[in-house]
Chain A
């Protein structure tokens, strides 16, 4: 039973356009959400996070939106660049502190020139 779902295994976007990656969750106890980026043969790298008390967090080209009523979050990348091509994982945590993360299966983002 997957608690964090990324329903798009892959996404292709033209360079300079907006990339939107989606994530749904089923556990209403999740209160902290993170996005990770992963290149082949490397570990996941932290990208951006959001607490459940917020509905938006922005960091440069990256913005995460959280819709708690729909149990949905999305990552927007504007503008998309070739270096953004990677696998993006959505992750969630229950409670405060350093609890373990529950990950989605990932979305492979391909930025086309």
Chain B
């Protein structure tokens, strides 16, 4: 079974440009998360979806970040315009409704964003 798929793996953009990341979760996982991991830090939650509904976006910087999960499957995270401080790894994860153990909280390989 395929895991959580993210693309692109790497992205380099100039500041003030827009950028988008794509995520395909594990089939059957209703919950989808976007995390951001800064260098030397642990992942930090940006937004959580239950199906197509964003149920926790309290940590998403809404002035420049947006996300969507149409049809409750794939998701896109967008930054517009990007700033130097947005350089980080953006991780997507998906989970079963119970979110437990080995079958929950599966992460993708991430997208490493560099803003120059």
The residues of A with any CB-CB pair to B shorter than 8 Å are 4, 32, 34, 36, 41-46, 49, 89, 91, 93, 96-106
Contacts and interface: CB of A to CB of B under 8 A. Distances in A.
B109 A43 contact: yes
Contacts of B44: 103
Given A41-B109, A103-B43, A105-B40, A97 B56 contact: no
Contact of B101 (A44, A46, A106): A46
Interface residues of B, number: 31
Given A98-B97, A100-B33, A46 B106 contact: yes
Contacts of A101: 43, 45, 105
29 contacts: A4-B42, A32-B99, A32-B100, A34-B105, A36-B107, A41-B112, A42-B110, A43-B91, A43-B107, A43-B108, A43-B109, A46-B102, A46-B105, A49-B101, A89-B43, A91-B42, A93-B99, A98-B30, A99-B99, A100-B45, A101-B45, A101-B105, A102-B45, A103-B42, A103-B43, A104-B42, A105-B40, A105-B42, A106-B41
A97 B4 contact: no
Given A32-B99, A46-B101, A105-B41, 5 more contacts: A44-B91, A97-B97, A98-B95, A98-B98, A102-B45
Interface in B35-71: 40-45, 48, 50, 56
B96 A89 contact: no
Contacts of B43: 44, 89, 101, 103
B105 to A, nearest CB: 6
A36 to B, nearest CB: 8
